[in-house]
């Protein structure tokens, strides 16, 4: 399941997500993960930062361990994945 489908299934309002850069650097992804207030779905602690394309541009999405698609329980580093491109540094 991709992130956009996950958000849609949970009825998350994409308009309330923070605008994101089109091509974020790893530093931006990491810094923003620290700023995310909680999982976009349930509000739990964010494990991963994602960027999704919306009608009004790319938006940041934070997801917890439960809602991060395909996440492994032993994963400790932020997962940097997204439809607009992944940046690993
Ligand atoms: Zn969650």
Domain ranges (residues) in the chain: 3-82
Cα 47 to ligand 1 centre (Å): 9
Q: What is the pLDDT of residue 28?
A: 87
What are the tens digits of pLDDT across the range 22-73? 888 888 888 888 788 899 999 999 888 898 988 889 999 999 988 987 644 4
Mean pLDDT, range 3-19, rounded to an integer: 90
Cα 52 to ligand 1 centre (Å): 16
Kindly provide the residue ranges of all beta strands, DSSP E only, lying in the chain, ordered along the sequence: 48-54, 57-63, 80-82
Q: How far is CA 54 from CA 1, 77, 78, 80, in A?
A: 17, 26, 22, 18
Confidence of residue 74 (pLDDT cuts 50, 70, 90): very low
Cα 40 to ligand 1 centre (Å): 7
User: What's the angle, vertex CA 4, arms to CA 52 and CA 84, rounded to 5?
Assistant: 30
- Return d(Cα 28, Cα 20) in angstroms, integer: 9
Q: What is the pLDDT of residue 81?
A: 52
In the three-class reduction of DSSP (H, G, I as helix; E, B as strand; rest coil), residue 13 is classed as coil
Residue 19 pLDDT greater than 60, yes or no: yes
């Amino acid at each position: 399941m991709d992130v956009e489908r996950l958000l849609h299934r949970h009825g998350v309002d994409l308009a309330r997500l923070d605008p994101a850069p089109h091509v974020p650097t790893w530093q931006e992804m990491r810094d923003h993960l620290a700023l995310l207030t909680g999982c976009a779905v349930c509000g739990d602690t964010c494990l991963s930062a994602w960027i999704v394309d919306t009608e009004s541009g790319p938006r940041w999405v934070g997801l917890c361990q439960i809602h991060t698609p395909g996440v492994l329980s032993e994963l400790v580093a932020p997962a940097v994945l997204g439809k607009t491109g992944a940046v690993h540094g």
